[in-house]
Amino acid sequence: MNEQPGKVLIVDDSRSTTQLIKNALEHNYIIKVAATGEKAIVINKYFDPDVILLDVALPGIDGYEVCRKIRAESRYRFTKIIMISVRTLLNQRLEGYASGADDYIVKPFETEELEAKVRVFYRLRNTEKELDRLNRMLDQQVRLRTQQVLEAEKMAVIGRYTAGIVHNLNNPLQAIMGNAELLSYKFSEDPNVLALRKASSQMKKIISTILSTGYKNNSSEYTNIDLNQVLQEQIDLLRSNPFYRNHHIHIITNLQPLPLIKGIYYHFSQSFGNLVKNAVEAMFNSDKKELRITGRVQGESIIIQIADTGTGIDKDNIENIFHPFFTTKPLAAEYGIPTGTGLGLASAKEMIEAYQGSIRVNTQKDKGTEFIVCLPVKPQEAALNNSNNAKPCYL
């Protein structure tokens, strides 16, 4: 695709000078002309030129003042301004630089020199804009990494306390389960005894899942991971969440046998956990609350689908949902309304892509959203080692 040509604004009240410059530049640039400083300021706002060729002596406000007014607005910080004037004294040229000009050409000038300067400053503007974009992207990544580290530290502390509390629940739970077992021998048909045994058994399973998941999440070792087990553990954790119980979410799973993936457990635990959490919270205001999780092998790829019957995603937000800190949820809310920081989907995408995987989203307004995770079956080790032999997974 061809790049859009650069834009040049010529500000000069001399028709002959204006025509001379237009003839030299119009084959390579989009040209606009202003004969006064006031007109130049108006055109600059909607034309947003890359380079301004600015005469000093103008009717009304002079070129120095035009330059100062443009430089006063930060959005024009990359616009390159070349002053053109018959004024040749040093203090006159210095005044031009002081007002914010990037260069100063004395009339009469050679058109070849003018063309060369415009070309150089146009490239310089593009380079500065690209560097600014990269710096902002880097700053965003630093903020994301910092937030992730802080979140990981916070969750590690919470995890240690939770593990201790959950572990200490085991002893009284064993006593409850033992006595429930004894009661069942004497009152085998009593519905209260049966309910007690079922509830204590469920509590035992929840405690085991929390301890097991917490232990594996604290490990940074590469192991062979069963993604079905990761998903099932996330479902079990979800079932212990009051949000799940209070909103009566119906879960449907279809997890076909999957090959093991070599990686770090918490990468997949956190990624799928974020996707499941996002799906559940999307159904907060839905009449139908159905979470569907499927897993299968397709060719050389593992496909995980997590779908909800929530409100869907607005088309204007689709391109932003994986951007760090983008969220439509409030940071804090009452009455159980879901909150968010905008890091869940961003971190999930980053971690899945670290394994040469990809995430795609399908959504329909007021009908629901489906996230499709694609992971390569075989080249995980090559991907983790940044090998060129790793094949990215795309649907």
**For the ranges 23-32, 158-167, 320-329, the one whose mean pLDDT is highest:** 23-32
Q: Render pLDDT for 12-33 as a digit per residue (tens, 0 to 9).
A: 989 999 999 999 998 999 999 9
Range with lowest mean pLDDT among 134-143, 198-207, 374-383: 374-383
Residue 316 has a CB neighbour count (10 Å cut-off) of 7
> Would you call 345 exposed, middle or buried from its count of C-beta atoms within 10 A (0-12, 13-18, 19+)?
buried
- Residue 136 tokens read as 């902002």
Q: Render pLDDT for 340-394 as a digit per residue (tens, 0 to 9).
A: 666 778 878 888 888 889 999 999 888 899 999 999 987 544 444 544 444 556 5
| The predicted structure's pLDDT at residue 386 | 47
- Residue 90 tokens read as 């040093």
Question: If you average pLDDT over residues 302-324, what whole number do you get?
Answer: 86
Residue 110 Cα distances to 17, 20, 23, 304, angstroms: 12, 10, 13, 65
Range with lowest mean pLDDT among 170-184, 202-216, 270-284: 202-216
Identify residue 325 by its one-letter amino acid code: F
| The predicted structure's pLDDT at residue 150 | 66
Question: If you average pLDDT over residues 4-11, what whole number do you get?
Answer: 90
**Cα separation of 101 and 295, whole Å?**
61
Question: If you average pLDDT over residues 224-231, what whole number do you get?
Answer: 91
Residue ranges and CATH numbers for the domains of the chain are: 6-109 (3.40.50.2300), 137-214 (1.10.287), 219-395 (3.30.565.10)
Per-residue pLDDT band for 177 (boundaries 50, 70, 90) equals confident
Is the pLDDT score of 2 beyond 60?
no
Q: Higher model confidence: residue 128 or residue 220? A: 128
Contact 333, 316 (CB under 8 A): no
Residue 27 has a CB neighbour count (10 Å cut-off) of 7
| The predicted structure's pLDDT at residue 389 | 46
Q: Which of 271, 260, 259, 256 is nearest to 224 (CA)?
A: 260
**Cα separation of 308 and 292, whole Å?**
6
Question: If you average pLDDT over residues 67-89, what whole number do you get?
Answer: 89
**Cα separation of 164 and 159, whole Å?**
8
Q: What is the mean pLDDT of the chain?
A: 81
Is the pLDDT score of 217 beyond 70?
no
- Residue 382 tokens read as 């090559």
Bridge partners for 7 per DSSP: 30
The full 3-state SS of 201-221, as one line of letters, equals HHHHHHHHHHHHHHHHHCCCC
Establish whether the linkage from the previous residue to 108 is cis, with ω within 30° of 0. yes
Per-residue pLDDT band for 216 (boundaries 50, 70, 90) equals low
Q: What share of the chain is helix, strand, coil (3-state, %, to 5)?
A: 50, 20, 30
The full DSSP string for 310-357 is S----TTTGGGTTSTT--SS-SS-STT-----S-HHHHHHHHHHHTT-
Question: If you average pLDDT over residues 42-57, what whole number do you get?
Answer: 92
H or E element at residue 263: strand 261-264
Question: If you average pLDDT over residues 252-256, what whole number do you get?
Answer: 93
Q: Render pLDDT for 82-131 as a digit per residue (tens, 0 to 9).
A: 999 888 788 888 888 899 999 988 888 888 999 999 999 999 998 998 88
H or E element at residue 97: helix 90-98
All residues at 6 or more sequence positions from 184 whose CB lies less than 8 Å from its CB, including other chains: 193, 194, 197
Q: What are phi and psi of 132, to 5 degrees?
A: -65, -40
The residue written with tokens 């060729």 in the block is 53
> Has this prediction a pTM greater than 0.75?
no
**Cα separation of 233 and 212, whole Å?**
9
Q: What are phi and psi of 359, to 5 degrees?
A: -125, 130
Contact 247, 284 (CB under 8 A): yes
| The predicted structure's pLDDT at residue 171 | 72
Q: Rg of the chain's alpha carbons, rounded to an integer?
A: 32
Is the pLDDT score of 228 beyond 50?
yes
Residue 217 has a CB neighbour count (10 Å cut-off) of 19
**Cα separation of 382 and 353, whole Å?**
13
Question: If you average pLDDT over residues 244-256, what whole number do you get?
Answer: 82
Q: Render pLDDT for 265-308 as a digit per residue (tens, 0 to 9).
A: 878 888 898 899 888 888 988 888 999 999 999 988 999 999 99
